[in-house]
Amino acid sequence: MKRQISIYDTTLRDGAQAEGVSLTVQDKLNIARRLDALGVHYIEGGWPGSNAKDKEFFEKARKLTFKKARLTAFSSTHHPKSPVDKDVILKTLLHPKCKVDTATIFGKSWDLHVRDVFRISLEENLRMIFETVDYLKSKKLEVIYDAEHFFDGFKANPEYALKSLLRAEEAGADAIVLCDTNGGTVTAELVRIIEEVKKHVSAQLGIHCHNDSEMAVANSIAAVQAGCTQVQGTINGYGERCGNANLCSIIPTLQGKLGVACLNPGKLKELTEVSHYIAEVCNMRQAGNQPYVGASAFAHKGGVHINAVMKNPVTYEHIDPALIGNKRRILVSELSGRSAILYKKGFQEIDLEKNTPQTKKLHKLLQTLEHQGYQFEAAEASFELLMKRAMKKYTPFFSLKGFRVSVEKRQDNTLISEATIKVKVNRQEVHTAAEGDGPVNALDSALRKALETFYPSLNEMHLSDFKVRVLDEKAGTAAKVRVLIQSQDARESWGTVGVSENIIEASWQALVDSVEYKLLKDRSQK
């Protein structure tokens, strides 16, 4: 590695300000542990002087042992009307129950904010910056000074913006972080300003970018190339408005492409798991097309792409997905050609050779089904069953004799769904019924009730997601629908699909595939 920089994670503070994110104290403690295990250098836990949740977090975080990271508390410069040693917010920061070794203080670098938000003189703001940093340094803390709105401030009044940095440096700030708080600075402009700052400031420089122009990652990387030695950001780019700089893109780009050390050797491969873990704790859906760590980041659908990747992955992959803990995916569709089918044979144990009649038959079947509305990208279990059935290598575990589903609305407005079903298993007919929260749930319950005597392992599985998409909106209620079902047991999850003009029939197709795949999987494992 050419050089070392420090990674400063603010997921627990800036990231928690994202719309839709609401973390409990326990959530924050769990995330902090995982970030420390990943190996980031700083974890900004929150602002203990601003709310009770962050105050409780720091009280409990004192009991944690961090192997790598330094827990950091965030705060502002002291209030204009309060002496620095009497400031209530700073007192909270220094309270024994908070107990941190690093404090990050933000102050105003943009004269517009000083006049219109603080409504004090420009000189008074400079005094507040100096006094706050100086006071915290006297308490033996490492102090990081965040120059809020620095780039906008520099563009409006470069002389004053620089003065704000110099006052923090004179007071002993260990690092000065240049913040593009509005996220509107373009990369070339940002680099030019950093180069100018370096002529006047000798302290360690950091970068903190927001993503309002979708340049936060590019700007952060350019800032490191321009000499910044600390990068602030969040996992998955969570943050207010359009989010913050995404550490899941910054870290592998710096370490994997530019030779800048960010994490300890071997830790980079944990990045995808950390990204998905934090998305789950934040109750945010993971963006499939997120670079590096998204499920689609190394997914190939076009036939030309798949054919090339099978011969040499470098043709359509900028890095090896295993380096960051991700994996290659080959998507099966009418666009992917026979190469995708051949790729799938490895885990399906079907003997296929390119351009054979069998391969052509499967490819033609696939194109026909996708033309009818089927989609196998998120339904690989259905695709595996499709191939086995088409190749006469599959024996069903049961056969349907018939089912009926009814929905009754009662006088008290309650809805009752009931399904009755008759299936044949091992030459035995089973006739049963079940109620459910809706018709699909009732049908699922009735099917598994009929089969559980023969296949007890079905009690281990459950439906984890159910999606319906109308394929032709112009057709109204007569339109085809595609049902995607995600199922899981204790070991893994799998997707199945069904298509029909009747939503119950489409759901039944996906349900049957889900159950059949579970049973097939169990038999293979045995």
Distances, alpha carbon 511 to alpha carbons 26, 145, 237, 342, 392, in Å: 37, 57, 36, 27, 21
State the average pLDDT over residues 30-41. Answer: 95
**Whole-model pTM?**
0.70
Domains and CATH numbers, the chain: 3-264 (3.20.20.70), 299-390 (no CATH), 398-454 (3.30.160.740)
Share of the chain residues as helix, strand and coil, in percent rounded to the nearest 5: 45, 20, 35
Task: Write out pLDDT tens, residues 236-275.
Answer: 999 999 999 999 999 999 999 999 999 998 999 999 989 9
308 or 178, which is more confident?
Answer: 178
Q: What percentage of the chain has pLDDT greater than the value 70?
A: 93
pLDDT at 348: 45
Classify the C-alpha dihedral 97-98-102-106 as positive or negative.
negative
Task: Write out pLDDT tens, residues 356-393.
Answer: 677 677 777 777 787 787 777 667 888 888 888 887 77
**Per-residue pLDDT band at 474 (split at 50, 70, 90):** low
Q: Token match 């199922």: residue?
A: 487
Are 48 and 93 in contact by the 8 Å Cβ rule? The answer is: yes
Cα–Cα distance for residue pair 269/325, rounded to 1 Å: 4
Residue 286 has pLDDT above 90, yes or no: no
Cα–Cα distance for residue pair 280/285, rounded to 1 Å: 7
Task: Give strand pairing partners of 209.
Answer: 180
449 or 393, which is more confident?
Answer: 449
